[in-house]
Structure 1
Amino acid sequence: MRFVILFFLVTLYSNAQVVRDSIEDKRYLEDQFYIGLSYNFILNHPEGSAQRNLSYGLQAGIIKDIPLNRAGTRAIGIGAGLALNSYYSNLVADISGETISYSINDDITRSKLETHLLEFPLELRWRNSTAEEYKFWRIYGGIKAAYVLGARSKYDLEDISQGFNNTDLTKFQYGLTLSFGYNTFNINAYYSLTELFDGNAAVNGEVLQYRPLRVGLIFYIL
């Protein structure tokens, strides 16, 4: 009798495990790592200011994929990552003591602002993938918050080259994100809802209201 009961319990557990594994297999996870490359536009230029050279951005991180339905076609993505963004223009940042001043110089050889960010993306995800299909369409939209770990301004003018840590930036930034594409190549865009500078930076009496727009490619990896 004990053998029969034991056999029944083992069989019941085995069947339950198969069913549970089958359900879990359907709730597969997607796109848990990302790497991106972007071109960085500067919006809201003050009078006389213009963008120059190739302003680029790099981003990489990990995202926790949380499926919202059994088929796995809808999900929430919560993640963290690092980003480096550069902005080239004719806006020159200079420092004297602890005072940072700004001017516009069309004769400048190169003027760059570089930022290092800790990012926290939050995405609503739709895709037409399956647990067996790795080539699929995706549309991911959401918001991304970021904390500025550090920023550096640098300029080159004839024989002069100067760089320093710029503290005039908005420390906490956030904006809207959108990614869409098929398989490996996906378009990614970020529009900042906060200004790049914190309101203390001004040129010719005009407060700098730079706002980044980044457009590029993003690659998702399982």
Structure 2
Amino acid sequence: MRCSILFAILLFSGAFVTGQVMESNGEVDRKYLEDQFYLGLTYNFATNLPAGISQRNLSYGLQAGFIKDIPLSYQRNMGIAIGLGYGINSYYTNLLASQQGSDVEYTVLDSDVDFKRNKIATHVLEVPFQFRWRNSTPEEYKFWRIYAGVKFGYVFDGRSKYVSSSEKIVFINKDIRDLQYGLTLNVGYNTFNVHIYYALSSLFNDGVMEQSGEIVEIKPLKVGLIFYIL
């Protein structure tokens, strides 16, 4: 499934990488826009983990959306951009979340506990804002780009999921922070671009503690590839 998604991203990115178009008289449009649709695939690191908590399995993220390119220079190599997108993220760890009445309790699963999956999954409405530099021209669609900025996200669905050989527990986790934000950096040439997102906000609300009393302030670090279309 994940390989199929990545293949589709590569296929469409290679086919529609440029946003430059020809005018009706055959001349190149010098008011072209670039990189207005994006698709991305990341590996999600959970940083700032409390003692005893570690990542398990493949924590991944998928993102897609539209971002409006707004050039600020005549050469159109400097600009800003603001967009709207959708992201899916998973974080696999040995930190078990369980419902206890109206509360959620967190315990660290020992290494001898046999389980298949234990994760936090989020569905996020994202608003990226970027400062953009690129060395594109009206005639050249293969170019270097450096896009730095911030991304705000609203988690409209956040769940904890635990699966073992004998049971399956899934519930909406109210401790997951609704509003999340962080710094972004996209650097690359032509089709392939490295995407980095570092969260400035915690994955959980303030005051969430695991059973030993240690505060849980996990901050995601996402590293992967992002592909621009049109």
Q: TM-score, normalised by structure 2?
A: 0.84
- Partner residue of 2:214? 206
CA distance in 1, matches of 2:177, 2:170: 19
**Residue 25 of structure 1: how far off its partner (Å):** 3.0
- Partner residue of 2:11? none
Which string of whole-angstrom CA distances, capped at 9 and with x for unpartnered residues, describes residues 86-140 of structure 1? 0001011111322111101131332010001111000000111112211111000
Q: Is the 8 A contact 1:26 1:70 kept in 2?
A: no
- Of 46, 51, 56, which residue of structure 2 is paired with 1:42? 46
Gaps of 5+ in 1: 1-20
Q: Which has the higher helix share?
A: 1
- Of 101, 123, 127, which residue of structure 2 is paired with 1:97? 101
CA distance in 2, matches of 1:59, 1:136: 23
1:47 partner amino acid: A
Counting aligned pairs with the same residue, the percent is 54
CA distance in 2, matches of 1:111, 1:182: 37
- Of 75, 82, 97, which residue of structure 1 is paired with 2:86? 82
CA distance in 1, matches of 2:150, 2:33: 20
**Residue 60 of structure 1: how far off its partner (Å):** 0.2
CA distance in 2, matches of 1:124, 1:75: 6
Tell which deviates more after alignment, 54-63 or 150-159.
Answer: 150-159
Superposed, which structure 2 residues align to 1:1-222 within 5 Å? 25-105=29-109, 106=111, 107=113, 108-203=115-210, 204-222=212-230
Off by >4 Å, runs of 4+ in structure 1? none
- Partner residue of 1:6? none
Q: Is the 8 A contact 1:40 1:87 kept in 2?
A: yes
2:189 partner amino acid: Y
Q: 3-state SS of the aligned residue for 1:202?
A: coil
**Residue 143 of structure 1: how far off its partner (Å):** 0.5
Q: TM-score, normalised by structure 1?
A: 0.87
Q: Which has the higher strand share?
A: 1
CA distance in 1, matches of 2:129, 2:166: 46
- Higher Rg: 1
Q: Is the 8 A contact 1:27 1:69 kept in 2?
A: no
Which string of whole-angstrom CA distances, capped at 9 and with x for unpartnered residues, describes residues 59-91 of structure 1? 000011000011111111110100000000101
CA distance in 2, matches of 1:115, 1:41: 14
